[in-house]
Each structure stands twice: as structure tokens, then as C-alpha cells.
Structure 1
Amino acid sequence: MTVLVTGGAGYIGSHMVLALADAGRDVVVLDDLSTGFDWMVHPDATFIEGDVGDESLVAEIISKHSIKAIAHFAGSIIVPESVSDPLKYYLNNTVRTRSLISAAVGSGVEQFLFSSTAAVYGDAKESPITEGTPLNPVSPYGTSKLMTEMMLRDVTRAHPLRFVALRYFNVAGADPQGRSGQSTRQATHLIKVATQAALGERSHIDIFGTDYPTPDGTCLRDYIHVSDLAQAHMLALDYLDAGGNSTVFNCGYGRGYSVHEVVEAVKRVSGVDFPVNLSPRRAGDPATLIAGAERVRETLNWSPRHDDLEAIIRHALSWENSLKLRRAEAA
């Protein structure tokens, strides 16, 4: 079965491509390279540079490569940016995805994996957050993803398409074999930023908000290794291939770490005591996001292999160091 991976030259998408290729699956990657890198695409995958919102292009790819499933990772992901530029997020994450879904339906594709987010829950009043927690996004990013989930729900009622939406919590780390990782230099992910500071790529890091209703006043987040997340997608694909019904799954470990705890862990793993500035809260940041992930474990028999904060940091640090060397060689 050939799988089309949109955004497959980006961070999470490239790890899905690795997992598919490692499993011997045929893979086609569609990415516009606005934030992705063609050198991160597995050499066994067919790479096509283009826009997921180009319905005729997607239809042509589906036909030419006999695509049976789509794994959709393309989109914009920075919460504060979505607050300042909401129209960008509704275009990239909702409008273009609507065109992608339309091409899938028109071409007879019946399996669809969607890269969703815990941001659909907003500032949830319960912890851990389960799939039954009320959906109340507080950022355009979260709303744009929820709108796509709603579109998929409605489309599956009218057409043979079935989907699994995986609601990620905080994705971090890198491929343990060093083949891919978070490569956008100005990314805002905490572990990415902290490892850059440890390697001298940043002069300091900022902690945004120290007055949250949490044990140390900083935000609590559930960090999931990107390779474990890719494995959850592989199992979701098997689930759909076996005839599973459309559903949603939270993807996290069910354990939260504060920003202070993560920063101290990066300092400990790297051996570098980099400067940390305390800054005001950012718009759209909930105090606590911890996954209730029993459904994905039970339904898909998902068993994480990298549920260890320091291991996640080591893999991220190793990848960041390889990027630093790559840039030095290119200079």
C-alpha cells in the first residue's frame, strides 16, 4: 500500500516517512519546503515539491502512484504566531486541508491520518485530559485544527473515507539513529530552544510566565518522543487498514514536566549552565497540558519505547549538534 505523506520533509512528517520506509512501505512525500528540508526525506521515498492545497496536483499524485492512504502533517504550528496572524493559520491549516480532503474523496482514498493537537482542548479544567474533555481552543492554531477534525467527521458521514486524528501533546526529541529531527532554526519548542542555548546557538532562553497555577509557576507539559509518535501513526494506519472506524486519540505519556524542570534537565544532560530570562506569559499558552492516553494504548496496543525525558533531550541535543556541524560545513 502506497502512502502519501504531506509535510514529509518537516519534523514529525519526516519521522513518519522513516517509519514507513523502515517497514518496507512505499511512500510519496508532498511538501512545499516552506519549513521542511528535502535532505530530511528518506532516500527510498518519492519526493514531490508542491502545495497540499493544489487539488489537481494531489489528484494527479493519487492516481499516478496508486495512493491508498494519506498521512497529513503539512501546516503551521506556532501558537503565538497564530494569535498575531490568524488568517495564515486558517489558510494553511484549514482551507488547504479542505482541498486535500476533497482530492482524497474525489480520488477514492479511504484512509486518512490527521496530525491534530492537544491545543483543541484549550485551557482545560481537568488533568489528565482525555478524548472526552470539552473542546475549547484558545488559539487560532487550535481552532484551525479542530475545524479540520470537524470537516473529517462530516465527510466520513457522507463518503467512504475513514480517518484517525492524533492529538499530540508536546513532541520532542529526534530519530535515535540521527536521521531526522527538528531542523527549523527559529523553532519555538522548549527542548529545541534549550538545546540550542546549550550549544551556543542562542545567547539565552526565555521562560514565558512564572505565575501559572502550577507547583513552580511555570507551564506543565507532557513531552512525547517523536519516534514514539510516528509509531502511533503506524499503528493507526494498520487500524484503518483492518477496517477500523473513524476516531481520535490523544498521544502523550500521561506525565507532565514544568518548564523549569525541562530547562534543568537540559542543563544536566548537556553539562552547560546557559542563561535563562524570566519573561511575561505568551498569548494562547494553557497552564497545564497532560495527556490521558489510555485509549491509544488499549485500542492500538501502543507501547512507547522512549518514555524518558533525559533520553528525549539526549536525542534532541545530538541532532542539534549534527545541524550545527552541517551549517559549519556549508559555510
Structure 2
Amino acid sequence: MRAVRFEKTGGPEVLEVVEVDTPEPKAGQVRVRHEAIGLNFIDTYHRTGLYPVKLPCIPGGEAAGVVEAVGDGVTRLKAGDRIAYTGGFGAYAEANVVQADRAVKLPEGIDTRTAAAILLKGMTTEALIRRTYPVKAGDTVLVHAAVGGVGQIMTQWLKALGAEVIATVGSEAKAAKARELGADHVILYRDQGVAAEVRRITGGKGVPVAYDAVGKDTFEGTLSSLARRGLFVSFGNASGPVPPFPPARLAAGGSLYLTRPTLFDYIVTPEELDASAAAVFEVVMSGKVKIEIGQTFTLTDARKAHEALEGRATVGASLLIP
């Protein structure tokens, strides 16, 4: 089968299309024939070495397709089931083997392209806004990169919960998109001081929670946007990792909290996985969260896909199609 692999870390040019043996499922595993592969910013962290991986590596941790082979002892899934999965590696390929208890069946009404576009981003959003900080109606929430893959889902889901959303974006075109998604206030972070705007919008109070996947470039602005005892949810490094800082900075900002969650601590058991995925599928099928697949690339164009991701030239979800 065809796969995309890198043998050394570096820029998009290290991604190579190769022929590899089609894997056979072991006990507890299934082989899924991919119909769509999710592109996520974390894939670039693995490729650059920011998050170390074992080399050579077939990147990608999200895909959807049809089960075509089942290993011993698997009762959760059967051949012919439409499934999606997230976690691990090997998704940048025509097929992959995954643990059966880390995959979810797709309900009627969710096609495989939509599933590959939403599972990781949607469950990340679910964990962040329902469990890391349970957002309630009336909360004012700061969302950075509001028209990215997670940002689009988060903005819409927050509005469905009754929150007031302050969105940050990098251009007028993205500002228009954020408003279309339901954002109540939009800040052009390249032209405006984020913290000053947040304070103006909130009458000086700041926000009780801020969701930041940008990292280094927005760190100080996010900290300064929080209300007393506010929570900084740092869940990405699109501009680079957050620099070291003294814990006393949190005290000086008003007894602030900072957390660096990862989805996989919220979907440890099959039960948690199924519940999170079900919540995502439900909010999408209800129409409250609409999914935009902004870009599709062929598997052999993985380099171009990474260039677009890192160049912030994407809107919404991006997919590789085998």
C-alpha cells in the first residue's frame, strides 16, 4: 500500500511517498481501509521533532474508513463497519491497524469525510469546553484562532451552550468568517492589543476562561485577558511553545490558573471515548455545529498540506484523501 513517511525530522520536504506492506491486525486490533485522513497541527510537531517520535515514522493519528480485517478477540467491531479513530500513528496511508477499543462506529448521518474532519478536533473541543472548564450560559469566553479546525467547532459549540464568544483572528476575511460562525466580538490580533480589547469588551473584568492553541505569540495577551481566578487553557503551539515563566506571574495576574490538557487524558477508557464521540456526533447532526472541510489534498500531496497548515493558509478542517 502507499504511505507517507519521514526518516528524519525537518520541514515538509522530509515527507516521502513510499510503498509499504499492508499491515495485518493482531489480537485486539482491526485493519481499516481509509477513505479520509484528518490533518492536524500536531502532525507538524511530530515531523519537526518538537514532539519526539520513533523514526522512521508514518505520521497521522486520525482517519475514517471501513473495517476490512479483524484480529482475534475483537467483539466491538466487525468487517464492514464504518469507523473513525484518533491517536497513535500511521494514518498517512491507504490503510492502518488500530486497537479496536480506540475506534468508534459512525452513526447514520456522519459520512467518513466528516468523521475524519471532526473526531480529534471535536473531541478536543468537547473535553475543553465541557470538562476542562464546564462552560455555562452567560460565560464570556476568549477563543484564539477561531476559524481554524478546532476554533470553528469551538466557536459554534460555545454559542450553542449560550456563551458570549470573543474570537481572535489574523485577517479581515477570517474576521468575517468568525462572525458568520457566531462570534459576538472579533479581535484582529495583528492590529489590536488582545488584552486591551478583552478588557474593553468585558468592562474591565476580563474573561473567566481563555482557550489558546497559538502558544508563544499570544501567551502574555491571554494571561492579561483573564478575570481574577481565571483559567488559561493552553492546548497548542502553532507559533511555538510557551516560554518559561515564574509561577508568581499567575499570582500577580489575579490568582490565575493555567492548564495544559491533552485529549487523550479525557478519553482513557472505551466508555469515555464513546461518550465524547457521541457528544460530537450529536451536536454536528443537530445542526448546531456545521463542519467546513476547507481543503482536501491527495495523499501524495502531504507536503503541500503541511506547507498550507504551517503557513496558516487553511480555513476549517483539512483532509488527505487516499
Q: Provide TM-score, normalisation by structure 1.
A: 0.35
Q: Provide TM-score, normalisation by structure 2.
A: 0.36
From the two aligned structures, give the one with the greater strand fraction.
Answer: 2
